[in-house]
Structure 1
Amino acid sequence: MAAEISAKIVKELRDKTSAGMMDCKKALQEADGDFAKAEEALKKKGLATAAKKSSRIATEGIVEAYIHMGGKLGIIVEVNCETDFVARRSEFQELARNIAMQIAACPQVQYINAADIPPEIAEREKKIEMEKDDLGNKPVDIKEKIVEGRIQKKLKEMVLVDQAFIRDSSMTIGELVKQNISTLGENIQIRRFERFVLGEGLEKKNEDFGAEVEKMMSK
């Protein structure tokens, strides 16, 4: 006997996955009412849909700006989709906003995808790790494995799509984008971003308050 699927649980699954109501009901029916199994099935379906759309040209979209810390940190990110219709949708704009906020929250992020990292960055990190004192007495093969693990961890911290979403740590930014591809029905790409930190790169003035007071009193 098939499990009875209530409208309430269908809505809960929709809220959790952003999938369509009929898709949620079907997934629950196929999973005999098991919420976790239905969620996993919808997730796999969404990833498959996103993979099919990932090669499609995306030249529309928006440039989103996010200012934080009272104007001391600013993020500009370009997120692309296929049509202006989707670019105007609130879901797409919310996605762009969330991505900008994610970049603001992750100062170590420098690249969108792992493929964007130049080979020399990995080589530099490997050289740094190989020279660390805690690896000095270890056999070469063990040392290589430890260093490789540390490098992969560091490189992952630099990649935006690999970061846990600040509003839902159960998914990465890459998975968040794929979820929106499934929901909105278009290819979505994070194209580029810039981070602006107030005073970054400038030589800051060292305040000598004692000397300043003496100077004022001598007038």
Structure 2
Amino acid sequence: MSISPQLIKQLRDETGAGFMDCKNALEQSGGDLEKARLILREKGAIIATKRATKEVNQGVVAGAVSADGRVGALVDLRCETDFVARNEEFQKLAEELVQHALAVGENGKMEELLQRTALSDPSVDVAKLIELVMGKTGERIAFQTYAVARVPEGENGIVDVYIHHNKLVGTMVVLTGNADPETMRNLAHEIAIQIAWSAPQYLTKEEIPEEVLQQELEIEKQRAINEGKPANVAENIARGRVNKNFIQRVALLEQPFYKDESKTIGEMLRAAGDLKVAHFVRLEIGAPS
């Protein structure tokens, strides 16, 4: 049977699928819109199965903060190519997943999140919504991970989320303490940018495992000896290098502030009053989850 352009347009508007996919689905369904929608959904599941082994090294990080500023969420959504990562449908999916992460409100609840009713299509759950977007893009899409952070109950604080302009890195900071809201917002945002730029692994130097520090000390001591320094001198050189080149790199509070390297993040917090970083998260496309 002949399928009218108006019917194809209606199906495209409802599903976001491509012209030929809609035309073929309508032809297979004999012009029945409901059956055509099911065909397109099944196509998404087929693509998900066929491309299950494809690598997903591209994607976006998306994030948001709750209306009261006390809870934040980040999501890491992957796909196969940069072309799809820039696709509006893919980015809308990432933004919707952030809202579901905020609603779930806890880490480690991926299964519960995937079973939630989709906001953009209440007839399906989130897992099926991801399949539908796979059907539209023709690529494997993987909801890699998500993170939720919140101000501890009973404490004054704020959550800030920062997404780098390329959407490949996202950070989240929980700042607590007693300061005026504007000071807290500004400082939390600057620290979130710092984390995006510097990628710290620990909050404080005390969190660095002793075996990691010892390994770094041995490496730097041997390097100093290789440079011709006596063993007793090499020990002191190694400690200085580990403090400056390693601890300042991996511990957030020891890092020089990216805008003014004469002060550390820890010093900035102390200067602002009774403030502390309670928690931070950094997600990056291409980094192990």
Shorter-chain TM-score bucket reads 0.5 to 0.7
Residue 135 of structure 2 corresponds to 182
Query: How far apart are 1:85 and its partner, in Å?
Result: 2.5
Distance 1:201 1:174 in 2: 35
Q: 1:162 aligns with which of 99, 103, 115?
A: 115
Check the 8 A contact 2:107/2:148 in 1, yes or no. no
Query: How far apart are 1:29 and its partner, in Å?
Result: 2.0
What are the Cα deviations for residues 160-217 of structure 1, in whole angstroms up to 9, with x where unaligned? 211111232111111111111121222111111111222348599xxxxxxxxxxxxx
Q: 2:81 aligns with which of 83, 88, 91?
A: 83
Q: Does 1:97 align with 2:90?
A: no
Residue 71 of structure 2 corresponds to 73
Flag the 1:203–1:64 CA change in 2: closer, same or farther, 3 A: closer
Residue 111 of structure 1 corresponds to 109
Check the 8 A contact 2:107/2:147 in 1, yes or no. no
Query: How far apart are 1:75 and its partner, in Å?
Result: 0.5
Number of aligned pairs? 157
Q: Which has the higher strand share?
A: 2
Residue 151 of structure 1 corresponds to none
Structure 1 runs (4+) greater than 4 angstroms displaced: 200-204
Flag the 1:64–1:18 CA change in 2: closer, same or farther, 3 A: same
CA RMSD of aligned residues (A): 2.3
Specify the SS of the correspondent of 2:31: coil
Residue 176 of structure 2 corresponds to none
Q: What pairs with 1:1-219 in structure 2 (closer than 5 Å)?
A: 2=1, 4-107=2-105, 110-113=108-111, 159-200=112-153
* Mean CA deviation greater in 102-111 or 38-47: 102-111
Distance 2:10 2:92 in 1: 20
Specify the SS of the correspondent of 2:122: strand
Q: Which has the higher helix share?
A: 1
**Letter in structure 1 aligned against 2:23:** K
Specify the SS of the correspondent of 1:40: helix
Residue 214 of structure 1 corresponds to none
| Structure 1 unaligned residues grouped into runs of 5+ | 114-158, 205-219
TM-score by length of 1: 0.64
Distance 2:156 2:29 in 1: 61
**Letter in structure 1 aligned against 2:126:** I
Query: How far apart are 1:60 and its partner, in Å?
Result: 1.6
Specify the SS of the correspondent of 1:69: coil
Check the 8 A contact 1:18/1:179 in 2, yes or no. no
What are the Cα deviations for residues 1-39 of structure 1, in whole angstroms up to 9, with x where unaligned? x3x422222111112222211221222122221111111
What are the Cα deviations for residues 98-151 of structure 1, in whole angstroms up to 9, with x where unaligned? 1001111233673324xxxxxxxxxxxxxxxxxxxxxxxxxxxxxxxxxxxxxx
Distance 1:25 1:198 in 2: 50
Specify the SS of the correspondent of 2:13: helix
Distance 1:37 1:109 in 2: 38
Distance 2:109 2:100 in 1: 13
Higher relative contact order (CA 8 A, sep 6+): 1
Residue 216 of structure 2 corresponds to none
TM-score by length of 2: 0.50
